Amino acid sequence: MERIYVGERAVSPATGVSRWVVVDSRTYGLQTEAVAYLASLRARDCSPNTERVYAGRVALYLNYCLMRRLDWMTPGFLGLAGLQQWLVEAPLPSRRGAAGLGPVRFRSRATANAVMTAVAEFLRFGATHGWVPASTTALLSEPKLLRFTPPGYDTGEFGQRREVQAASFRFRIAEPGYEDLSDEQIRHMIAIAPRARDRFLITLLACTGLRISEALGLHRGDMHLLASSRAVGCGVEGPHVHVRRRTDNPNRVLAKSRFSRMVPVTTDLVALYTDYQFERDRVAQAAESEMVFVNLFRPPLGGAMSYPNTKEMFDRLARTAGHACRPHMLRHSAATAWLRSGADRDVVQRLLGHLSPLSMERYRNPRELHQTGEKPQVAWSRRATAELRSLYELTV
């Protein structure tokens, strides 16, 4: 399919602020409604990465409508059903360029569901502004009776809350479990990482369960790695890391959670941070940055590490290690290790920065983990578990 509409990052020449927009490649004009929708995501404090992904998905929908000669504001039931099916049947562009030498790839049903969710949100946004008729948004959901409810869900005195609105255009897929890494795999990743900075980043994610955006957004002042931080006005005892949401990071990363939290760390992590500081001090430009993770080996030296830098590093690790190595897998490994060590699920929820207990449902029960005979992935001592519990008591 020829791409007419594309998601692009636009940088203001006056302020230098970057935003994601949808552009008509024929005229280089902005697609007004799509740009307004992306602006609404920024107003809701969505991360720049979310804005980028949704820009691509909205552009994909607009291109599909052009290809099928549909009015994007009134695609109709058959148009939306056709989009859903096309998403999984249309081959993706080859990763080896125009020659088409790479293997044929297709979107998964999970990816198609994610695109349909973005399209539905875009159309509902258009309806609130009078661009999209109510007849279109009425197609996007349908009533569904919940046969099974999540723990703690109130169905009402007479079960009246069992009926909810469910997405009309969504493939039914098995709920996947969280992908994590074994203790041996994590140790191997640390061993083959050639740089102290990368070894520290891997260990930090595995030890704290931080999202990659939270790690890349850390400032040096967030690293409280002494036995006591009272000298800097922090009453939390023991080495720990503060996770804060900031909107002015130079690498444009934004922590997903709007609430600050603290996570205890191990002495091994403190030692790796010291090694990283020695490596960092050899790059003079890095001294000017308050960010923890900075570029030390390619321009701009001293600049804050970005998502593409980090993805490239983990992709190299995956090729060397011979298995998938993604930052979020380390977050899942940390959560699993905490649960196995005996930490309460509400403590783990707090440490991960989840607002809802439902976010913890996909992590298996620690008893189930032991019954499977799996080995612990990250060694956590009883002292570390006690720190988790005491931290939770301090922050509730």
Mean per-residue pLDDT, 256-273: 90
Q: Which of 216, 215, 340 is nearest to 265 (CA)?
A: 215
Q: SS3 letters for 319-350?
A: HHHCCCCCHHHHHHHHHHHHHHCCCCHHHHHH
pLDDT band at 371 (very low <50, low <70, confident <90, very high): very low
Provide the 8-state DSSP code for 73.
T
Indicate if the pLDDT at residue 169 is higher than 60. Answer: yes
Distance between CA 216 and CA 169 in Å, rounded? 36
- Name the residue with higher pLDDT: 37 or 99: 37
Q: Are strands 141-145 and 223-224 parallel, antiparallel or unpaired?
A: unpaired
Q: If we measure between CA atoms, which residue out of 83, 210, 186 comes closest to residue 139?
A: 83
Three-class secondary structure of residue 91 per DSSP: strand
**Is the pLDDT higher at 349 or at 367?**
349
Q: Is the dihedral of CA 147, 150, 156, 162 positive or negative?
A: negative
Mean pLDDT of 292-296: 96
**Number of C-beta neighbours around residue 37 at 10 A:** 24
For residue 379, pLDDT over 60 is answered with: no
Residues facing 166 on adjacent strands: 142
Q: Compute and round to an integer the Cα radius of gyration of the chain.
A: 23
Please report which helix (H) or strand (E) contains residue 310, including its range. helix 307-321
CA separation for the pair 345, 362 (Å, rounded): 12
List alpha helices for 158-250, DSSP H. Answer: 183-192, 196-208, 212-216
What confidence tier does 370 reach under pLDDT thresholds 50, 70, 90? very low
Token pair, residue 108, equals 């998964």
Q: What are phi and psi of 22, to 5 degrees?
A: -110, 125
pLDDT tens digits, one per residue of 109-122: 999 999 999 999 99
219 vs 345: CA distance, rounded Å: 28
- DSSP character for 293? S
Question: What's the whole-model pTM score?
Answer: 0.72
Which segments of the chain belong to CATH 1.10.443.10? 183-395
Give the whole-angstrom CA distance, residue 204 versus residue 210.
8
Which residues lie below 8 Å from residue 245, measured CB to CB, with a gap of 6+? 217, 254, 255, 257, 258, 259, 260
* Contacts for 362 with CB less than 8 Å, ≥ 6 apart: 175, 177, 178
Q: What is the pLDDT of residues 308-345, one digit of tens each?
A: 899 999 999 999 999 999 999 999 999 988 888 888 88
Task: With a cut of 80, say whether residue 158 has pLDDT above it.
Answer: no
Tell me the two tokens of residue 265. Answer: 């760390």
Cβ neighbours, 10 Å, residue 172: 6
Whether residue 387 is predicted with pLDDT greater than 70 in this model: the reply is no
Residue 215 pLDDT class (50, 70, 90 cuts): very high
Residues 80, 72: Cα–Cα separation, whole Å? 10
> What is the helix, strand, coil percentage profile of the chain, to 5?
50, 10, 40
CA nearest neighbour of 198 among 283, 322, 292, 335: 292
Say if residue 205's pLDDT is above 50. yes
How many Å apart are CA 294 and CA 253, to the nearest integer?
13
Q: Write the CB contacts of 220 (distance below 8 Å, at least 6 apart in sequence).
A: 290, 291, 292
- Give residue 31's identity as a one-letter amino acid code: Q
Strand pairing class (91-92; 105-106): antiparallel
CA distance 27 to 160: 52
Give CA–CA dist 30/199, Å, rounded: 43
The CATH superfamily of 183-395 is Intergrase catalytic core (1.10.443.10)
